Structure 1
Amino acid sequence: MLGNNRAVELVLWAIAGHHRKFPPTAPPEDCNSEMIVYLSHPDFHNTLTLGTHELSLPDPPRFESDRKLKLTRINSSLREFEDAQEDAEVLMEAATDEEKRYVAVLKACLICADVAGSIGRRGSQSMDEWITQAFKCLPRPQQLESVVHKGLKGSELRPFQIQVAETTNRVVFVQAGCGSGKTSAAYLWAAQQAPGQRLFFCYPTTGTATEGFRDYLLDPSLDAELIHGRAEVDMEILGLGDDEPGREEDTKSGQGKAIEDSAGAMQQWSTPLVSCTVDTVLGLVQNHRRGIYAWPSIAGAALVFDEIHSYDDNLFSALVRFLTDVRGVRCLLMTASLPEPRLQTIRAALDGIGETLGGPIDGPEDLQLLKRYRREYNDSPWDRVENVLSERKKVLWVVNTVAEAMSLAEHPRAKKLRPTLYHSRFRYIDRVARHRDVIEAFAKADAPAFAITTQVAEMSLDLSADLLITHLAPIPALIQRLGRLNRRARPGRNDGIRPFIIIKPDGHLPYAQDQLQEASAWLASLGDEELSQADLAAHWIAQPVPSSDRVDHFVWLDGGFVTETRPLRIASPGIDIILQADRVAVESRQRRSEEVRIPMPPPRTGLNWRAWDEVAFCRVPPEGLITYDERKGAEWKR
């Protein structure tokens, strides 16, 4: 337990830092010079009584009169407080781990209380009535069971799924290949190890979060929610969103809109099942608003982190810190394969707090050992592509950059075959349409399908190809791409072996040169024999993980009263744009900016894009700088 004096000091840190704009600037000259503090109000005394009771302090004094305070004096005191700290990071170095967690949790709770107080009411209910009801909205056993049955599609539970569900460690690690039933195992784990607790299913990308929601939670009886930056758009596409894009709250004042945004961020307080990006949860450790607002529900939830092999160094570091500092939350970690050094990092972190990792729990051996792939060698595989398509089969060609994908689709032989082009550089509504085109084409039995894609194929495309052609890429990317090849193969069905062809790209971008060298060595170790998912994993997990300057400072836990936001992932250069053709619709709120936003690399040197008009936090390039086609995507004009 903290001593009373030290506890009071930490409480003051949290109170000061719970405001996201602390420390304040000097008040404007036209600001009221005084404020009244209602010390005599019964609510003030009741609050003091509650605090003294919780901290085992003597009864608080009663104040008979209110007090006026000059804002200039308050601001001066706050500036003195800031100056006295000098450096919050240095100050927190002297704090114990327990004290850091205490300040972080208290600050998050105060921020959420502040937001709830600002909203005031939700519909006909007062906020305290709504909160009381919200935290009672928890998943029922039959809801989770229905999700499991939906995933099984009439099959029996596999032994590894039962093992996952019965593992009692707070943190459990599952390592199983594509199509093994990890997701059903996760919902069964939640039902047995965290009954009556809210569930957050955390995916690495918005695409995978939406696919997970579509595949498992798209059922009104589940009372589930999809949460990520473009969730409202995806919900409309799934037929569950608001039919009118010009919603009432969109026409409100800035303050009203901010309150609506806060209310939306708090919605998961009352949502039993949440499908979200991992940023929704781990963003908490870097003071991201959505994570802070979700804290009251995260603290009482069970969490599933899927595809953890895809985390960059910073995101993985955030996961490890979360596991060690948020110790009351059960977590299930899942992936097809994970390098041994990363697994040992998780083990060591848990050992350091006196816990042991449950697992690894491996997927079904018959699926893991099933031979699915064989490498072929062909530097110009167009004849191979045409032969496979002539047999009414499926071809997936994956390249490393959008420019290469667009160029490949313009190849004379590609034009004759009319591939579907799918990458990230579309208006979002067009990107979703291209995603659907690819899925539907590959789902048609006895019909040819040909798609040219970038890395977007690695996780969010649930399809099975008969021929995979791919650029050389880092090992985890290649494993994910191979997960789209012969994906539906099952033991005893004689599904056969499917070929893959590796093409060396002209350059190494967007990856590092050493990553491609490691991938070449890994491919050489695989040889030319028939391969299973177990073969891919076994040769990868032994690979050393290069050292990096990963983030080890997380401002929610280490920053004291500092409420600044820091990046969660390793950022790549780029800007979001809105086309001139969409500008009016966005400004008039006939369209959401999320529907038409396009992520682009920075334009060529000499174009001062920072001076361009800005709409909804996106730049609007002048006419003539962008070429756009809804089936090809966007590119800067040369």
Structure 2
Amino acid sequence: MNNYNHILAKSVENGATTLESHLESVADFAVVAARYAGMDTEVALQGALLHDIGKASVVFQKRLRSKPSPLELPFRHEIASLFFLKLVSPDLQPFMIDMIVAHHKSIYKDVSGTGIIDLENEYEEDILQFHLSDFSLWASEAIGILAELKFPGVTHETVITEEDAREAYYFALDHCRKRQKGWSQWKGLLMGADHIASAVGDFKEKVPALFADPDVSFYNRKGELYPLSLIDSDGTKKHTFVKAPTGAGKTDFLIKRCRGRIFYTLPFQASINAMYERILHDLGDHVEDIRLLHSISQLLIGEERITEKVIQDKFGASIKVLTPHQLASIAFGIRGYESVLFDLQGCDIILDEIHTYSDIMQAIVLKMIEVLNHVGCRIHVGTATIPSALEKEILEILGKEQVQYVQLSDEVLTLFNRHEIYKAEAFTDLLPVLQQAVEQEKKILIVCNRVANAQVIFEQIEELYPKTKKMLIHSRFKRGDRNRLEKELKNEYNVSPYACIVVATQVVEVSLDISFDLMITETAPIDALIQRFGRINRKRTAETIGKYKPIYIIAPPQKDPDCLPYNPKILRDSFKVLPDGGELLRETELQSLINQVYPKVEMLNIDLDAVFVDGKWRLKELWHLPKSALIEKLDIDSVVCITQEDDESGKYREADKEERILMEIPVRYSSLRWKRLKQLDIGAHPFVVPDIAYSSERGLDLAKTGAENYDTNYQIW
């Protein structure tokens, strides 16, 4: 047996994986994926073994060990891998090209300008000659590796000439230039296999069985308190639309409607964390591969589940809990969308509380539904409240005849009346209410629309009730602190027999399984408010039905800018339509209230940015777009900060990936754009905020993040 361990797929800094080992691992995963998708496993095997064989090039191996001169031509190992197409029968060569040529780069208009068509247009014959550098020296080693891997028909004596390589290159170039509009399933398969093989390393043998359908029979349970549990799943209907109050059993019903692998989407980090833990508790003994697709998931997995830390965002999970942002690439054709589509195709997609998104995100989700429906997904929508106009849009995309539509009767809905509504002009007006609730040992939840507001109110609470158990929770905490707070909220505050006060933002709004006694909340859009109300008097028993608890709503700000992040008119209309004076909020009337606030939904037209319009793809196969302006407009928490202390002490620099995640504070880039902060060049490239701007009790105070608050060691920045 020949030894090719000197030929690497990755640099020493990145693990020094040998090329032979990497190709074997990718091939193993590719065959599993092809078998699952009903694709030709032999094609998958051969494509996977060839996809990186160009890394045997002496040029590539040299560049693994030292940076190239800026004067040198670009080298793409994908192009060098194409030189070996002759090893494959002619009828399979187009599939090989799909798997090889674009598994890192778009073939055209790549953001780096190094796709195969980009390079040919820029350098013409020179680029081919450069990739053929010393071909006779390294081609035999490439063949040797393939022979060791038992590539069909290849022995150590097999020869690929420079002329064979040249012919293969031009054949591949012609293939790329003739691509039709659509997406390449073969590219998606290879990218997925490559990603997971690169991630698992020595953990490969510990990876759960990929693409296994979960056993969700647990959710066939029935209970008189959960009316949806008494409704049978209609096997003749492909999709689902469930409209029912919090606590009616929506989650159980949606999951029991699933027939294959499941992607469960929810809008907020706290809600996906809670749902992940809930499903893991319910199904963990029966379903091996349940994942949470969010960086915070690193914190929820113990050492015994170390493999899951590595593969959480890779393909093949039985159940994956995530936010729709992780799927948005399929609407805009941005990098990696083919591997996401490969993973999604034919699966069950649960969209929980779709209406809670911004207008832009709503439009993106509707476009995603179009794409998901096109690739054979079964789509299940669950909501407590939704504008009728948005509901109509969803049902038209899915086709009403294909949807099991479920809503509860007025008689049943009446049993879910839980809240008495009071209105107030300002938080200070409610201080007597707060005092009385504390004296009565009530669990109190105060919800603000903005982090800054929550921080101000929390300071007031600290002054007023120094001895009462209290918590502030919002999105701008270190992830380690945030995870601790979420667990304390659920496991301590939620079950406290004594008075406690939690001040929060929207992070508690959806699917967080807590049941408090009294809420004070700023006005939000009517649909979001109803979600918030679901955290009060949530726990239903035979004794609690017909018992009501109070919600106090603070009037919207008078100045429009102070209404952010919401539309001022929607806030004022929402406040206006709600009852007052302790009047009961009736479940049978919620739809009418919502439709008064949203008589019509002005749906954004994103077709100019979308790659799938009117049932057809607008992007050619093997292409992807560099970015999406619409996704950038969402201004989600797209960057992270760390504290000055975590930087200066060396903690962040010396930490491993999981430890760094614990230190990071997610923020919106727009919040820091003009702050002149130091930014590190390691890890997630965090911005460094002054220590004075952060505390483990209050989180990050953006007002104190300016560079002028750095201590003297940082004044040069």
Matched-pair contact (CA < 8 Å) for 1:164–1:361 = no
**Within-5 A mapping of 1:238-277:** 241-242=305-306, 265-266=313-314, 268-269=315-316, 271-277=317-323
Partner of 1:168 in structure 2?
A: 236
Q: Does 1:134 align with 2:217?
A: no
Q: Does 1:544 align with 2:607?
A: no
Give the letter for the 2:610 counterpart: F
Larger CA deviation: 385-394 vs 438-447: 438-447
1:562 to 623, 634, 637: 623
CA distance in 2, matches of 1:320, 1:594: 32
Q: Does 1:233 align with 2:327?
A: no
1:299 to 333, 345, 352: 345
Q: CA deviation at 1:451?
A: 0.9
Q: Does 1:338 align with 2:386?
A: yes
Distance change in 2, residues 1:80/1:291 (3 Å): closer
Distance change in 2, residues 1:74/1:629 (3 Å): farther
Q: CA deviation at 1:334?
A: 0.8
1:376 to 399, 402, 422: 422
CA distance in 2, matches of 1:49, 1:301: 33
Distance change in 2, residues 1:32/1:295 (3 Å): same
Q: CA deviation at 1:372?
A: 1.8
1:586 to 652, 656, 667: 652
CA distance in 2, matches of 1:460, 1:406: 23
1:223 to 276, 284, 288: 288
Q: CA deviation at 1:294?
A: 4.6
Give the letter for the 1:452 counterpart: V
Matched-pair contact (CA < 8 Å) for 1:109–1:295 = no
Q: CA deviation at 1:439?
A: 2.4
Matched-pair contact (CA < 8 Å) for 1:217–1:224 = no
Matched-pair contact (CA < 8 Å) for 2:422–2:579 = no
Q: CA deviation at 1:465?
A: 2.5
Distance change in 2, residues 1:452/1:307 (3 Å): same
Q: CA deviation at 1:467?
A: 1.8
Partner of 1:203 in structure 2?
A: 266
Give the letter for the 1:401 counterpart: R
Distance change in 2, residues 1:156/1:373 (3 Å): closer
Q: CA deviation at 1:424?
A: 1.0
2:162 to 65, 68, 74: 68
Other structure's SS at 1:430 match: helix
CA deviation profile, 1:57-98 (whole Å, cap 9, x unmatched): xxxxxxx9623269999999999999x89xxxxxx9xxxxxx
CA distance in 1, matches of 2:514, 2:159: 71
1:572 to 627, 635, 647: 635
Partner of 1:182 in structure 2?
A: 250
Q: CA deviation at 1:503?
A: 1.5
Greater relative contact order (CA < 8 Å, ≥ 6 in sequence): 1
Aligned residues between the structures: 564
Distance change in 2, residues 1:367/1:519 (3 Å): farther
Other structure's SS at 1:618 match: coil
Give the letter for the 1:581 counterpart: E
CA deviation profile, 1:455-475 (whole Å, cap 9, x unmatched): 112115322222211112222
CA distance in 1, matches of 2:225, 2:672: 55
Distance change in 2, residues 1:181/1:604 (3 Å): closer
Matched-pair contact (CA < 8 Å) for 1:401–1:510 = no
Query: Percentage identity across aligned positions?
Result: 19
CA distance in 2, matches of 1:508, 1:317: 24
Other structure's SS at 2:552 match: strand
Q: Does 1:390 align with 2:439?
A: yes
Q: CA deviation at 1:628?
A: 1.4
Partner of 1:89 in structure 2?
A: none
CA deviation profile, 1:392-426 (whole Å, cap 9, x unmatched): 11211111111111111112325564531111111
Give the letter for the 2:289 counterpart: A
Q: CA deviation at 1:494?
A: 5.1
1:362 to 407, 422, 425: 407
CA distance in 1, matches of 2:632, 2:589: 30
Other structure's SS at 2:233 match: helix
CA distance in 2, matches of 1:74, 1:579: 53
Other structure's SS at 1:397 match: strand
CA deviation profile, 1:248-284 (whole Å, cap 9, x unmatched): x9xxxxxxxxxx96x6543x42x33333333444543
Distance change in 2, residues 1:404/1:512 (3 Å): closer
Distance change in 2, residues 1:377/1:431 (3 Å): same
CA distance in 2, matches of 1:492, 1:531: 19
**Within-5 A mapping of 1:516-531:** 516-528=568-580, 529-531=583-585
CA deviation profile, 1:520-579 (whole Å, cap 9, x unmatched): 223323333311333233311452345354533334843223223436574227642111
Partner of 1:478 in structure 2?
A: 529
CA distance in 1, matches of 2:331, 2:151: 30
Residue segments in structure 2 that go unaligned for 5+ positions in a row: 1-91, 120-126, 707-717
CA deviation profile, 1:14-57 (whole Å, cap 9, x unmatched): 8755443544535699876365789999999xx9999xxxxxxx
TM-score (norm 2): 0.67
Matched-pair contact (CA < 8 Å) for 1:180–1:367 = no
Larger CA deviation: 471-480 vs 355-364: 355-364
Partner of 2:191 in structure 1?
A: 111
Matched-pair contact (CA < 8 Å) for 1:614–1:620 = no
Partner of 2:33 in structure 1?
A: none
CA deviation profile, 1:273-326 (whole Å, cap 9, x unmatched): 333333444543445667644544422422222121223334433433343343
Larger CA deviation: 522-531 vs 210-219: 522-531
Q: CA deviation at 1:447?
A: 1.6
CA distance in 2, matches of 1:317, 1:524: 27
CA deviation profile, 1:467-488 (whole Å, cap 9, x unmatched): 2111122222211111112222
Other structure's SS at 1:479 match: helix
1:447 to 498, 514, 518: 498
CA distance in 2, matches of 1:119, 1:633: 32
Other structure's SS at 1:621 match: strand
1:598 to 659, 665, 670: 665
Q: RMSD over aligned Cα, in angstroms?
A: 4.4
Other structure's SS at 1:184 match: helix
Residue segments in structure 1 that go unaligned for 5+ positions in a row: 1-6, 51-63, 86-91, 93-98, 250-259
